[in-house]
Amino acid sequence: MDQQRRNDWILFGSFWAVFSVVGFYLVLGIDLLPAQWAHEAEVVDDAYILLMGLSIPIFAGVAAALLTSLIRFRVKVEGQPTEDGPPVHNNRNFVRLWIASTLMLALMITVNPGFIGIAELRGEPSADIVVEVQAQRWSWKVNYENGAETFNQLYLPADRRVRFDITSLDLVHSFWIPGFRVKIDAVPGRVTHLYVTPEGVGSFEDDFNLRVQCAEICGLGHAQMAMPVTVLEPADFDAWVSDLAEGA
Amino acid sequence: MRQLLRAVIFGILGYLIGAALTWLIRGGSMGDEVCVVFGYILGLIGWLFGIGMGDTWVREWFGLPARKYEVTGWKRYLGFSTDHKVIGVQYLATFIVVLLLGGVAAMIIRFELAQAGEGILNADRYNQVMSMHGILMVAVAVAAILGSFGNYLVPIMIGADDMAFPRLNAVTFWLIPPVAIGLLAAPTLGSFDAGWTAYPPLSVVNNGGQILFVLAVTTFGLSSILGGLNVITTIVTMRAPGMTWGRLPIFVWGAFSASLISLLTTQFFAASLILIAMDRVAGTVFFNGGAGGDPLLYQHLFWFYSHPAVYVMVLPGFGAVLETITHMSRKPLFAYKAVVVSFLSIAGLSVIVWAHHMFTSGMAEYLHGPFMFASEMISVPTGMVFLSAVATLWRGKLWMKTPLFFAMIWIFQFLMGGVTGIFLADVVTDVSLHDSYFVVAHFHYTIMGGMLFAFLTGIFFWFPKITGRMINDRLGIIFALWLTIAFQLTFLPQFWLGTNGMNRRIADYPEQLEGANLMSSISAFILGSSFILFVYILLSGAIRGPKAGGNPWNASTLEWQVSSPPPEHNFSGQPTVVGHPYGYGTAGSRHAEFADVTVAAAPPEQPGTDQGGDHE
């Protein structure tokens, strides 16, 4: 390899290293994700950060190659180009290596955070309490186990595994709690399920992402189709729910 | 002109007859959706008859000779021309206009979203403008590259004198104006507000404008299918002697694989829309969950086309970008065969990944794994395209004119789109990000970054060929940088918005998200205004740019061996292809020979290799 070509690769390597470091700092050093209010949020965020970590060097590599090309291989052309680049049509070994590595990478992320993440996120199909949710243009009705009912308000106990049974009376809506990082559509004629274990006590006043937001366009009131979520201590929740049931 | 006028009159008459007959038979009012449906169908037939099918096919069915009109100059572009180059320019001009219209809608959207709370639009109007923006831009993305460059360049690149079915080609284009009219007329029936995806039950119960959406988009699908059929037949049957499959320019491969997808999957979208029309006007319940139907059925049918459609958008874009990179860096395209295999693999894989749009739809959970796996696999052939692009640049002789700038920026943009796509293909992260602004940012990087930037690359690369003149290169580069920087500042904040609790398709959002939205909006206006410069560059270049000559880039493929613009029927003699299209760096390498004179593929020492000189 002559000096010229070695310098190309050195420049590329330096850009790659710098871009990767800057990328890691920006993405992992700065808190880009909002507060986690559920066990599921941790699973999702871990997957997000893992994918980010894998993406950065790939992204940095291509960006470095582009910048290196721009600096090192640019030619000044007067009128029409007078010289060609080297007649490299292929490099079989490099292509094989590239395909093998992209395939490996794709398989890797399919396994983790793919399949492993799915298993973690779903967990066992068992729950401590069941909450029924009914969506209707443009509001939510919530039924708890003992007959208690709320309208456009969702109360949940911390540290208990909740199963939501969700349906819709009219259109497709989507039940999304950004602070929990999970969503599932509310489909007329079907009941869909979502498992969540809230962590930490808080309410919409503490974090606007503690809300149920409709995420599937449903007409006029779509943006406003949201309800605040309040996570209570389990004991407080039990008291709240039995008060409400008695009042009903 | 006469044809166009006749088409308009027949179209209106057809509409009135169809609507009136339906009204006479069933009563009610002429404005009912049933009347609109039959009016539209007869109107469409009248339009096609008037524009030229009556003069050609219909006369021949009755044993009469086809009627010909001798039109020259700019009037050719307003009539039923069967010249593939005229049709290519018709597509190009039409879709640049549609692009700008969609862009105006985008500006209105960002104006509304600059601040929380209700601004210039109420929620209803917002949904309508957003839906219009969506469908206009999707139409641009599907048809702009394939329609314009596919028509203009594919026949020349393979050494043919026209497309395989020139009349069908004309019909394919003239199906587009009814689509535009249908969509833009929707506000007369209360507009449509279900986004470009038109999920039922919303799209079954909303305002009457939705029926025009259904009719127009189905017509657009018909145009796509016919266009795909024509491109495939042309490439299979019309290649010049010696133009083996291994010698096809890479853009032709891009157009070929995209056309395969168009031809084989568009029917599913049309079918799903027709079922919606039936639910609306005929009282069927295909998508009514309460009556035994299923809203998810639509989503499966819809995405069975609409995910592959993404590759209809970007595969010709891949072709245009790789074509530009290999010519402008004067190096053979790296790993040509592997790229061809990748294009075909993408086309194949594209039809088995659709349900990654449905991880949160409530479909059976056992489907999640396989669709996630198939979706991740697409990164392998796509990765090959990136390798080819970057490795072709490496150690090339980069002539940094506007087209190469755009091609290199395209690599960056589409990589952003590709990498963020992994987050959405992965079930775990998608459960959080689906239907959020992360998705909005992602598909603007893939479709705007991947398709529009490729379209711009192609426009600037082939502008001298089509107009015979050069653009102002300095302005071109300013435009590229202006657009690219504004693009990042517009869409990077939207990734953050998505992870921080902003869902898509909303007129209003929590006020905590105001800062990033304001930044995105201001940048969007800067982005939008760059297109004023774009239009100026094109117009000033076309009117008073310096003459380009036949081969201003000194490139090797066939379209550069004829005059700019190419003569009617493209070649004076039959070209014979004798070698690889990208023989850069190999002394004496030749791509094609002509009957009368031999043309070297790309002899660097001889600038004047064009055949016919400058044509006005």
DSSP B532-579: HHHHHHHHHHHHHPPB--S-TT---SGGGGS-BSPPTTS-SS--EE-S
CB B225 within 8 A of CB B555: no
Contact B96, B137 (CB under 8 A): no
Contacts of A66 in chain B (CB under 8 A): 390, 393, 408, 411-412
Kindly determine whether residue B423 and residue A176, on different chains, have CB atoms separated by under 8 Å: no
Considering only CB atoms, B397 lies closest to which of A66, A81, A87, namely: A81
| H or E element at residue A129 | strand A129-136
Q: What is the pLDDT of residue B310?
A: 93
Phi-psi region of A123 (alpha: psi -120 to 50; beta: other; left: phi over 0): left
Q: What DSSP letter does each residue of A51-103 carry, written as one string?
A: HHHHHHHHHHHHHHHHHHHHHHSB---SSS-----------HHHHHHHHHHHH
Please state the separation of Cα B375 from the chain's center in Å.
22
With a CB cutoff of 8 Å and minimum separation 6, the contacts of B328 are B398, B399, B401, B403, B404, B407, B461, B553
**CB < 8 Å to A84, chain B:** 330-331, 397, 584-585, 602, 604
pLDDT per residue over A189-233, tens digit each? Answer: 899 999 999 999 999 999 999 999 999 999 999 999 999 999 999
Q: What is the token pair recorded at B77?
A: 């572009």
Give the pLDDT score at A147.
86
Q: Residue B445's pLDDT is what?
A: 96
Note the pLDDT of residue B596.
61
Cβ-contact A37, A202 below 8 angstroms? yes
Cβ separation of A59 and B416 shorter than 8 Å?
Answer: yes
Q: What is the pLDDT of residue B238?
A: 93
Quick check: helix, strand or coil at residue A133?
Answer: strand
> What order of strands is seen across the sheet that includes strand A139-143?
A149-151, A139-143, A129-136, A162-168, A192-196
Looking at this protein, which amino acid is placed at residue B413? Q
Check CB contact under 8 Å for A189 and B202.
Answer: no
B330:A122 CB<8 A: no
**CA dist., res. A83 & res. A62, Å (int):** 26
User: How is domain B81-544 classified at the architecture level of CATH?
Assistant: Up-down Bundle (1.20)
Comparing CA positions, the residue from B114, B112, B62 lying closest to residue B493 is B114
Residue A191 one-letter amino acid: V
Angle B215-B216-B219 from CA coordinates, rounded to 5°: 90
- How many whole angstroms separate alpha carbon B512 and alpha carbon B115? 10
Contact assignment for A172 to B602 by CB distance below 8 Å: no
Partner-chain contact A95 B335, CB within 8 Å: yes
Q: Which two tokens stand for residue B326?
A: 């290999």
Whether the Cβ atoms of residue B378 and residue B349 lie closer than 8 Å to each other: yes
pLDDT at B613: 37
- Measured distance CA(A109)–CA(B422) in Å, rounded: 9
Q: What is the dihedral of CA B82, B83, B88, B90, to 10 degrees?
A: -60
Tokens in use for A63? 């960006």
- Residue of B379, B426, B356 whose CA lies nearest to A59: B379
List, run by run, the mean pLDDT of 10-residue segments along chain B (616 residues). 90 95 89 91 95 91 88 85 93 95 95 89 91 95 94 95 94 95 91 92 91 95 96 95 94 96 94 94 90 91 94 95 96 95 95 94 92 94 96 94 96 94 94 95 94 96 95 95 96 94 93 94 96 96 92 92 90 89 87 68 45 38
Whether A113 sits inside 8 A of B412 (CB atoms) is no
Task: Compare all CA atoms of chain A with the CA of B199 and give the residue at the minimum distance.
Answer: A172
Nearby residues of B303 by Cβ (< 8 Å), 6 or more positions away: B354, B355, B357, B358
Inter-chain residue contact B426 with A69, CB threshold 8 Å: no
The answer to whether the CB atoms of B329 and A34 lie below 8 A apart is: no
Kindly report the nearest CA distance between residue B187 and chain A, in angstroms. Answer: 16
What angle (nearest 5°) sits at the alpha carbon of residue A166, between those of residues A165 and A168?
Answer: 150
Q: How many residues does chain B have?
A: 616
CATH 1.20.210.10 in chain B is located at 81-544
| DSSP helix/strand/coil, A149 | strand
Among the partner residues B499, B512, B584, nearest to A85 by beta-carbon distance:
B584
Interior angle at CA B440, CA B437 and CA B445, nearest 5: 130
N-to-C CA span, chain A: 83
Query: Choosing among A216, A227, A229, which should be mutated to test the B contact, i.e. which has the most B CBs within 10 A?
Result: A216
| Half-sphere exposure of residue B490: CA atoms within 13 angstroms, side-chain side | 28
CA B123 from centroid of its chain's CA atoms: 29
Q: What is the C-alpha separation between A1 and A113, in angstroms, rounded? A: 40
B390 chain-A contacts, CB cut-off 8 A: 62, 65-66, 69
Q: Which of B334, B346, B351 is nearest to B377 (CA)?
A: B346
Q: What pLDDT, on a 0 to 100 scale, did the predictor assign at position B610?
A: 42
Rounded CA separation B151/B162 (Å): 9
When CB atoms are compared, the residue of B373, B512, B602 closest to A208 is: B512
Which residues make Cβ contacts (< 8 Å) with residue A57, sequence separation at least 6?
A16, A20, A23
Q: Which residues 6+ apart lie within 8 Å of B194 measured at CB? A: A217, B127, B131, B202, B203, B206, B210, B213
How far off is chain A from B324, nearest CA to CA, in Å? Answer: 14
Rounded to an integer, the average pLDDT of A44-53 is 93
Distances in Å between the alpha carbon of B569 and those of B122, B350, B535? Answer: 53, 35, 29
Cβ–Cβ < 8 Å for A170, B293: no
pLDDT of residue B597: 52
**Dihedral through CA B106, CA B112, CA B116, CA B118, nearest 10?**
-140
Q: Which residue of B has its CA nearest to A118?
A: B428
For residue B123, give the chain A residue with the closest CA: A220
Residue A135: DSSP 8-state: E
Domain definitions of chain A by residue range: 3-74+92-122, 129-247
In this prediction, residue A1 has a pLDDT band, given cuts at 50, 70 and 90, of: low
In chain B, which residue's Cα lies nearest the Cα of A88?
Answer: B332
CATH fold label, A129-247: Immunoglobulin-like (2.60.40)
B429: chain A residues, CB-CB within 8 Å: 44, 47-48, 51, 113
Q: How far is CA B570 from the centre of its chain?
A: 25
> What's the pLDDT score for residue B615?
39
Mutate to test the interface with A, among B429, B494, B513 (most CBs of A within 10 A): B429
Give the tens place of pLDDT for each residue, A129-168: 999 999 999 999 999 988 899 999 999 999 999 999 999 9
Note whether B411 contacts A183, CB cutoff 8 Å. Answer: no
Cβ pairs bridging A and B (under 8 Å): 283
Q: What's the CA dihedral at B221, B224, B226, B227 to 10 degrees?
A: 170
Question: Residue A176: phi, psi to the nearest 5?
Answer: -125, 125
What element of type H or E holds B229?
helix B209-237
* Nearest alpha carbon to residue A194 among B345, B365, B208: B365
Cβ-defined contact of B429 to A51 (cutoff 8 Å) = yes
Q: Nearest chain A Cα to B384, which residue?
A: A99
pLDDT-derived band at A248 (thresholds 50, 70, 90) equals low
User: Tokens 């009136």 sit at which residue?
Assistant: B20
Segment A57-61 shows an average pLDDT of 94
Higher pLDDT, B69 or A64: A64
CB B146 within 8 A of CB B312: yes
